[in-house]
Amino acid sequence: MPQETAQVNKSIFTPFNVIAGMIIFCGLIITVLRFTGGLGAVTNLDDNNPWGIWIGFDLLCGVALAAGGYVTSASCYIFGLKRFHSAVRPAILTAFLGYALVVMALHYDVGRPWRLPYPIFLSPGTTSLLFEVGLCVFLYLTVLFIEFSPAALEWLGLKKIRNLVVRLTLVLTIFGVILSTLHQSSLGALYMIAPSKLHPLWYSGYLPVFFFVSSVFAGLSMVIFEGSLAHRHLHHKMDETHLEESAGVALGFGKAAAFVMMGYVGVKFIGIAMDNNWHYLATGWGLWFLLELIGFVVVPAFMYAIAARDRNLRLVRWASILAVLGVVLNRLNISVVAFNWHLPSADRYFPSWMEIAISLFIVTIGVVVYRFVTTRMPIFYEHPDYEH
């Protein structure tokens, strides 16, 4: 008995569990402060900077990186690329958790979070861009929940309901792609109302196009990145089919991402040419813009292309890390760094440590839930009762 107890304690007090527990405990304390003392008690937000890192990182980055769900589903069920089928469930799970955590983060940022359902159910403002974003996110989160449910239903042994949901796969995939196209682009359109606040190199009439196109290669890169981590830490949960197809998924998605990323670069330069903002490239802001575009889009695009040609898995995984960081940098540049760029540094927004801690808290919850689900439900393997 003492030996068994020691083994249980050893399995509980792992470095991951200890660090995650500390982050969650700290996040819960700050959550109490936020909802008892208001936004001013934990944030550096003000009238000039009403949207901070909770919007820039938790929402904009969260939605972009969760795009792997609709990209993978569309590849498999609409374009008929069945060799990517093993990546669908992990991608759907990541997307579902991503959107769920986005909604969770919104409760921290909105002054009266209990009124979040009002625009959809009680007083819809159909002419508002925010209404369109909110409605699409609400509907797509529902779609993702239904798309994810077969794994949970197989785990629970509810065969009849599971079989019914599986028949809806194609319809759900098409609906999900439509909704994702709408709200991914609309998030970019939100910043078109602030032409005097956002730096001209990031402001453009093509912002909706930029956001949508970048979400495609963000989703592709996130599937590769998430798959790399899963293979390292959850290898024992994968069946032979998943292991055999993993290399093809990474290389195929990397090749697709290379094409999309270079198309994105072309559209970005078209935007600069249309607004005649070439002279800004010779400034400090221009160097920062080129670092984002070349260092985190062009470079990983070439890495993807070389990796696909040489079938180099290590290179494609490193490229996915750079691409994911590039999408995060782009969203933070638009929402925080290049926003109110003309103000003196004393009036610029910088997140408080508690804002950063809450963002880290939300990400940690996502990782913990992902780990819980993948170690118990048939995500990386086919359930024995439903093979083929």
**Tens digits of per-residue pLDDT, 329-364?**
999 999 999 998 888 877 888 999 999 999 999 999
pLDDT surpasses 80 at 159: yes
Task: Read off the pLDDT of residues 92-144 as tens digits, 9 standing for 90 and up.
Answer: 999 999 999 999 999 999 888 888 888 888 777 777 888 888 888 999 999 99
* pLDDT bracket for residue 7 (50, 70, 90): very low
Identify the band that residue 388 occupies on the pLDDT scale cut at 50, 70 and 90: low
Residue ranges covered by each domain of the chain:
48-346+353-380
How much is the pLDDT for 196?
87
The pLDDT-based confidence of 47 (bands split at 50, 70, 90) is confident
| 158-to-90, 154, 162, 375, 383 alpha-carbon distances in Å | 21, 6, 6, 19, 13
Top-confidence residue, 255 or 244: 255
What's the pTM?
Answer: 0.91
**How much is the mean pLDDT over the chain?**
90
Neighbours of 200 (CB within 10 A): 17
First-last CA distance in the chain: 43
Specify the length of the chain in residues.
388
Going by pLDDT thresholds of 50, 70 and 90, the confidence category of residue 10 is: low
Which residue type is seen at 67?
A
* Over residues 72-86, mean pLDDT: 91
Of 58 and 130, the structure prediction assigns the larger pLDDT to 58
**Residue 29 predicted with pLDDT over 80:** yes
More confident position, 387 or 25: 25
* Sequence letter at residue 134: G
Query: 59 and 211 in contact (C-beta within 8 Å)?
Result: no
Topology of domain 48-346+353-380 in CATH is Formate dehydrogenase/DMSO reductase fold (1.20.1630)
Alpha carbons 236 and 233: distance in angstroms, whole number:
8
Name residues whose C-beta falls within 8 Å of residue 236's C-beta, 6 or more positions apart in sequence: none
Flag whether pLDDT at 240 surpasses 90. Answer: no
Identify the pLDDT of residue 6: 45
